Amino acid sequence: MNKIPKIFLITILINVFFNKGLNALEILEVKIIDSYKVSRDFPGKLLPSEQSKLAFEIPGKIKSINVDVGDKVQKGDILVELDDREALATLNQSKAKYDLAIQVLNRFKDLRTKGHISIQDLDNANSEELIAKSQYEFYKVKFEQTKLLAPFDGVIQDRYLDTGSVINGGIPIIEILDSKNVKANISIPISYIDKIKIGESYNFEIGDISTKAILQRLAPMSLGGSNNRLAVFVFDTFFNPGSVATLKLTTIEKGRGTWVPIKSLSQSEQGVWAIYTINDQKKVTRDLVDVIYFEGEYAFVNGTLKNGDLIILGGAQKIIEGKQLD
């Protein structure tokens, strides 16, 4: 909320006599400005920054599921394991063949140095070592694929299967949500897009909490001709996904006028806005104004008002236009 009256208006009290009685009128002295703040709220739901359904790349039988719904995990934790006996045996065999190929190659290098074997024999040993190495690395990856690891720090959101289930590759086992960061997708009118900048921080309210988030990216324009664009904001503090996050966007708009309390405004049946002022002769005058923007209990108006004019705040309905205030 703009601190309107404290910044732009000076409050004074004057006593005037009207209808032979003493009436205290609250008066504001106008200060004309060339711009004003506009506050807009744009709500959106909080989503996990990362969310993933985890599955094995290979088929197998689930040996153990080490987590359950609600558990917090860290990146690299082993969440689920397949029966790895066959994969481990194959890995050990390939490792033994690789170790043997290394020994043979080293021995052939020594023999070639002494001239006991041909270059072709050494090349063959080199080739055998490379083949054994590639097979070992292949089966090492296959063994590693029997372990399902947490890709990031998070919370287990769901669990789809149990220990003992036989699965094919690609079948989701568990779902994990990022537990460190959340994001909010906010739909913003195109007219406001040029007022925000990627990488900058903006104010948000989540329930009773005021916080900040960084504008990460703007989605491309919709082919459907929407007048809004999707802005993605990232929070560095964790909040519960599904909560409503409200972007509190404040912009500076150019426009000459002044802030006045809404209670100082009157409106005719035709919708024309007016303000009662006191002129230099202490007479009440009715000045027509255009209301540019409302915020809370205040309005930004322009018209014939000028610096130093005195606006009647309260009791205007009791004042007759043109009445002399003694």
Token pair of 198, please? 């990627």
Between CA 189 and CA 235 the distance in angstroms is: 22
Listed ranges 23-27, 168-172, 308-312; the one with the highest mean pLDDT: 168-172
The 8 Å CB, 24+ separation contacts for 303-308 are 303/257, 303/275, 305/30, 305/32, 305/257, 305/258, 305/275, 305/277, 306/30, 306/32, 307/30, 307/31, 307/32, 308/29, 308/30
Please say whether the structural domain 4-37+255-318 has been given the CATH code 2.40.420.20. yes
Give the rounded distance of the alpha carbon of 101 from its chain centre.
55
Q: Where in the chain is the domain with CATH 2.40.50.100?
A: 53-177
pLDDT in the model for residue 21: 35
> What proportion of the chain, given as a percentage, has pLDDT over 70?
87
CATH of 42-50+178-252, picked from 2.40.30.170, 1.20.1250.20, 3.20.20.150, 1.10.357.10, is 2.40.30.170
315 pLDDT tier (thresholds 50, 70, 90):
low
pTM exceeding 0.95 = no
Closest to 237 measured CA to CA, from 178, 185, 150: 178
* Third-level CATH fold of 53-177: OB fold (Dihydrolipoamide Acetyltransferase, E2P) (2.40.50)
- Which one has a higher pLDDT value, 68 or 18? 68
